[in-house]
A and B are shown apart, each in its own frame.
Chain A
Amino acid sequence: MTVSVRERMESKLRQAFHAAEVEVIDESHKHAGHIVHEGGAPHGGETHFRVRIVSPDFAGKSRVERHRAVNALFAEEFAAGVHALALETRAPGE
């Protein structure tokens, strides 16, 4: 059984951050109108994701720093055709 992009992203987040909550949602179906994705991901493939993560690692970090830290984990996924990543990054209590 192949591991989906979504599952791989979740496990990367769990490894990289002390996370109280991690959720990766595949929203590719909402963007089915895009015919050709950069990186050549097949039409109907996993291309658009939403990440929700609550981690104490984000405390005291700016939004840009938080997003950069998350984006940096997914260089491989972006290169392989992931096209959009909506991020909700919070520290506990925010």
Chain B
Amino acid sequence: MSNQQTLDRIKQDIESNDVVLFMKGTPNFPQCGFSGQVAKILGHLEVPYKGVNVLEDMEVREGIKAFSNWPTIPQLYIKGEFIGGCDIVREMFQSGELVSAFKTAGVPVKDAAQA
């Protein structure tokens, strides 16, 4: 069971950063292929984000699953809203919805279509 302190810490991270990626490893050194795919997409879009390495904290690793009601890592949040895991982020990237979501949220994003 996740304790309240951990859930509060997760909530604070999500509320104080526009884009948060809960991942295994770090943006520069992902330690899981699925986390790596999302980090690569965010890097490609040049989106500023906070990466939270769940491998560094077992409480956060379990806590984020309870918090989001989502059983796997990675997990992407934009402006406090849970977006999804690796498959959803990839599908949204491919369809252009991800860029739209960042724009709607007022997050600076490199839009390849306008480059």
Interface residues of A (CB under 8 A from B): 31, 63-64, 67-68, 71, 74-75, 78, 84-88
Contact = CB atoms under 8 A, between A and B. Distances in A.
B71 A64 contact: no
Interface of B: 33-34, 69-72, 82-88, 91-92
Contacts of B92: 63
A54 to B, nearest CB: 15
A63 B83 CA distance: 9
A74 B65 CA distance: 14
A88 B87 contact: yes
B34 A67 contact: no
B88 A71 contact: no
B86 A86 contact: yes
A28 B105 CA distance: 37
B71 A63 contact: no
Given A64-B82, A71-B70, A71-B71, 4 more contacts: A84-B34, A85-B71, A87-B87, A88-B87
Given A75-B71, A85-B72, A64 B34 contact: no
B114 to A, nearest CB: 25
B20 to A, nearest CB: 16
